Chains A and B, each alone.
Chain A
Amino acid sequence: MRITCPLCGDRDRREFYYKGAAVALDRPEPDAGAEAWDEYVFLRDNPAGETRDLWYHADGCGAWLEVRRDTVTHAVLEARLAAEAAR
């Protein structure tokens, strides 16, 4: 699997560390309530199809990326800096 890092270019996924779904960027307010926090920390969808993940270019530039890919076709559709991902 290859990911096109916006800074470094096309790289093998072994340079990256996978964290999980990009919803991790939507941190709830401290007082958002138990349900919101439970969902944020413990619950995840498992789509057969398009997913948004967070990958860290650990052996590269050190940027966190939001990667949009398809778990069925294995296509990697888009990778952008997490810092720029509109939230």
Chain B
Amino acid sequence: MRVAGKGLLDRSRSVPFRFDGVRYAGLEGDTLASALLANGVKLVGRSFKYHRPRGILTAGSEEPNALVTIGRGGRRAPNTRATVQEIYEGLEARSQNAWPSLKYDLLGLNDLAAPFLGAGFYYKTFMWPKAFWEKLYEPAIRRAAGLGALSGVPDADRYERAYAFCDLLVIGAGPAGLMAALVAGRAGADVILADEEARMGGRLLAETHTIEGRPGHEWAAEVLDELAAMENVRLMARTTVAGAYDQGTFAALERVGHHRARAEGLPLECFWRIVAKRSVLAAGALERPVAFPDNDRPGIMTAGAVRAYLNRWGVSPGRAVSVFANNDDAHRTARDLVRAGVDVVAVIDSREDAPGSDLFEVHRGAQVVGSVGRLALEAITLRSPAGEARVDTDCLAMSGGWNPSVHLSCHMNARPVWRDDIAAFVPTPGAVPGMIAAGACNGTFATLACLREGAGAARGALEALGMTAPKVDLPAAEEEACRIAPLWAVAGKGRAWLDFQNDVTVKDVKQAAAENYRSVEHMKRYTTQGMATDQGKSSNVSALAVLADATGRAIPETGTTTFRPPYSPIAIAALGAGGQGKGFAPERFTTSHRASVERGAPMIEAGLWYRPGYFPAPGEKTWRQSCDREVSMVREAVGVCDVSTLGKIDIQGPDAGEFLDFVYSNTFSTLKVGRVRYGLMLREDGTVMDDGTTARLGDTHYLMTTTTAAAGEVMRHLDFVSQGLRPELDVRFTSVTEQWAQFAVAGPKSRDLLNGLLDDPLADGDWPFMACGPVKVLGAEGRLFRISFSGEHAYELAVPARFGDSLFRALVARAEGVGGGAYGMEALNVLRIEKGLITHAEIHGRVTAFDAGMGRMVSAKKDCIGKTLSQRPGLLDPERERLVGLKPVGAVKLITAGGHLFEKDAAPVRENDQGYVTSAAYSPTLGHMVALGFLRRGPERRGEVVKMVDHLRGVETLCEVVDPVFFDPKGGRVRG
């Protein structure tokens, strides 16, 4: 219910929203949780395993119970914490894990089966009969498991990622964080202050503490005004710093659009990578529940949360409130409630020496041992030295103490340190290099001490940054007492909950210990405590304490499990922001792309490039029809193909020749100017890394080409050789792949075609095979290379890329005029297979020059990368699998790449494997399929019939081993 005169919200701003189909009204600034409590709604969910009715437990992001689904369809967000979701007009929220309704949930029957569903029951049941696991048990468990459900449709929201840099990252904007940001900001440091909440101020918004005689939230607002005006300070609200990583890198998740109706173009979330030279962890602390029997009913909440709802949101979660605690802090809840006019029916403190109060009676040395009320709390059972009594209450504010939020300090493999005086863990200093913890997260709870530690942390950071700290006076503030006596579990009849989200009880932890799962890592996995989406924020320490007790150890000895990023859940969509659709990878388009698409060519991905597969002519219905036609067209007339994607590297310098001799297996320093040579590039282990042609354009000027796929790898390799292995060589190189648009013009009519375009036509005898040089084409400065990948008389013509589109269109138009045209990747591949030319299908990483029949290309006269190891006897063994051609000779005409080769009559099993097929295609030139592959002693077995078996596709073909150059083996066509 709303309490008059309390809260920081503007009561005039009403906001309508829906929960489970029912319309409610809240106030601007309400979370879904505070608005529901204001409307008297207590039941918000059903627990994971037992489907017990649950209510709101906390007021923050650690909430384990109130998980709801927001929105519909592609914008549906399951497992949203009602304590984090801000309401806005039109918000639709639905409870989870109950059917047909929250009130009448069928699976509530699970609760009756509780004795059979204890810790580790997964491992003990569903074992028999064995066949039932896959058919019955697993599907049933899947349906029942989980809390929220995914929509099943693509996410309609957009997400973004961004980078930020600063001198000092202050994590948390409570009193400690505000002071740290203020001191550092005034010193002129570049500061980012981040807080997971929409409104900064931390606990100052939830408490009635005063600072400098004013309410703490007013002091906070003033500081924030000053910080907002500083150019060197960035305030990031609604931003959870979720992970601490090496070298000052932090991950942060900003909730940009969750608090409002969707807006066009506005990302829902932003994933930040923040690089900070120094950091201050001021993340505060989270309150512990108390594990007493039936401590999970709707209406049982943490005491600090009750205060927050009262003081910040002006809501009392009940009309007759009781308090149960083991520490002084919780008494403030009773005090604040009484002063606000809310009835406090009992304050129960487990300590014999608990402080008294003028405002209410304190039951000392007493405990709550049970509760009543199925869908909402009705009463608790109080046990005191005087005996047991029933207390009617609709809201119990419990507190087992506070856990400093050490999580980020442990993200780099450090463990926190136990402090007996506060019965809690605190960060280990230096656990994250450059990070200083301050305030409640450091085990310091009194307001003045928090302010002091925050200022001190900033001063430490400034000193490390080499900056001068300004003089900043500490404001006057309270130094509250914070005494506590540990109370980890209350004995009594009934289950006492530790992990609310995964439904893990004290009994489960004790059972784990009894079954010898004594290490905290085992207990965690056996019971699933701490493994829910809240990562055990409200249960880790208590469960550890119960385990320690059950195994007769002290808490520090029992240890903690590791904290890992993210601090609170992050949607995968945020982590992958910008990576969907076209954002997945860059798309690289050639200059002929548009023209190809206009002609209906389907585009194939070749790495990041898009290349045309084929150019369908009118009437052609299959790719084969087009491909066959294009192959014949090249062999009989002329074809034009865009080959711009191959890597092109411009190499210059006095030592360019020597450099090439070192990276290639063969020799290039002897290449004449105006000539091109095919080269093999090896890895140091002697295998072939890449192949290509290199042209000599001048005495100290070469142009290297690489395959499309290996362009980047070769560039990197050349850089490594030049910088790391041969720094004395005077040679410079740079990529010119993008500078030149390059087109293959191939076929008997290629020269005629070119002569129609070149400013200076080629005479017969000019430009022999493997010649190269500058030309002018239709007014543009270009280069011409007489090289061939098709085995026909062919050229490659290069122009500056700005002319690529224009040249391609001109070439194709003219080609079509003489019975030729454009050809794509499919035909390109068939043509080269017909000529036994290898690609990375053959150069697959384990193949050597010797295997490919090019052993003589490894010069005996010089060292080169890969030379020594390529000469290992094992790599020159004739028994190795070596390049062959294959053609079908039996009834089956199909050869498939990937098929393996066996002797004709051998069983096609691994022991008899003799090789494999790497490339296969139908050859329209020869009228049958042709293939390339590697076969033991291949070249010596020409004429032999072997058996190809493709076990995957179920193909078995008899093949004759032949010369890999199927067509025009003497090469007369290419040299003509």
Contact = CB atoms under 8 A, between A and B. Distances in A.
Contacts of B248: 2
Interface string B706-719: 00000010001001
Prevailing SS type, chain B contact patch: helix
Nearest to A38: B869
B725 A2 contact: no
Nearest to A85: B724
B247 interface: yes
A80 to B, nearest CB: 12
Given A25-B725, A41-B869, A56 B720 contact: yes
Given A17-B716, A41-B684, A63 B723 contact: yes
Contacts of B867: 30
B685 interface: yes
B755 interface: no
Contacts of A37: 868-869
Contacts of A1: 245-247, 249
Given A30-B868, A83-B727, A19 B246 contact: no
Contact of B275 (A2, A30, A42, A82): A2
Contacts of B720: 19, 54, 56, 64, 82
Contact of B246 (A10, A24, A74): A74
Contact of B412 (A62, A63, A74): A74
Contacts of A19: 720
A64 B724 contact: yes
Contacts of B685: 41-42
A82 B869 contact: no
A30 B863 contact: yes
A54 B247 contact: no
A76 interface: yes
A49 to B, nearest CB: 15
Contacts of B869: 37, 41
A21 interface: no
A63 B727 CA distance: 12
Given A2-B246, A17-B716, A25 B684 contact: no
Kindly name the residue among B867, B869, B872 whose own CB sees the greatest number of chain A CB atoms within 10 A: B869
Nearest to B867: A30
Contacts of A42: 685
A42 B684 CA distance: 10
Nearest to A25: B724
Contacts of A44: none
A1 B685 CA distance: 30
Interface string B234-275: 000000000001111100000000000000000000000101
Contacts of A10: 247, 275
A20 to B, nearest CB: 11
A10 B716 CA distance: 21
Given A27-B725, A83-B724, A56 B719 contact: yes
Interface string A46-87: 000000001010100011100000000011100001110100
Contacts of A74: 246-247, 412
Interface in B667-721: 684-685, 712, 716, 719-720
Contacts of B247: 1-2, 10, 74, 76
Nearest to A63: B723
Interface string A1-12: 110000000101
A53 B868 CA distance: 24
Contacts of B684: 40-41
A47 to B, nearest CB: 18
Contacts of A28: 868
Contact of B719 (A24, A25, A62, A85): A62
A17 B713 CA distance: 10
A41 B872 CA distance: 13
B429 to A, nearest CB: 16
The 8 closest A-B pairs by CB, nearest first: A2-B247, A83-B723, A82-B724, A64-B723, A74-B246, A30-B863, A83-B727, A1-B246
Interface of A: 1-2, 10, 12, 17, 19, 24-25, 27-28, 30, 34, 37, 40-42, 54, 56, 58, 62-64, 74-76, 81-83, 85
Interface of B: 245-249, 273, 275, 412, 433, 684-685, 712, 716, 719-720, 723-725, 727, 863, 867-869, 872
